[in-house]
Amino acid sequence: MFTRLCFDPRTQVYYERRTQEGKTRREIIRCLERYAA
């Protein structure tokens, strides 16, 4: 997940959107891991 956060534009947009919603970095990574599983 950390690699995707650094290099994948779609993941970066998702991260920014979730941050604005008030989510923490840990919560966002958990959501991404759940989606990828």
**Residue 36: pLDDT band with limits 50, 70, 90:** confident
Q: In this predicted structure, what is the pLDDT of residue 6?
A: 85
Query: Cβ contacts of residue 18 below 8 Å, gap of 6+?
Result: 27, 28, 31
Q: In this predicted structure, what is the pLDDT of residue 5?
A: 82
Please give the DSSP secondary-structure letter assigned to residue 34: H
Q: In this predicted structure, what is the pLDDT of residue 21?
A: 96
In the predicted model, what is the mean pLDDT of residues 1-27? Answer: 90
Provide the number of structural domains found in the chain: 1
- Residue 24 phi, psi dihedral angles, 5° rounding: -85, 165
- At residue 27's C-alpha, the angle toward residues 2 and 31, to 5°, is 70
Range(s) of the domain holding residue 13? 2-36
In the predicted model, what is the mean pLDDT of residues 19-25? Answer: 96
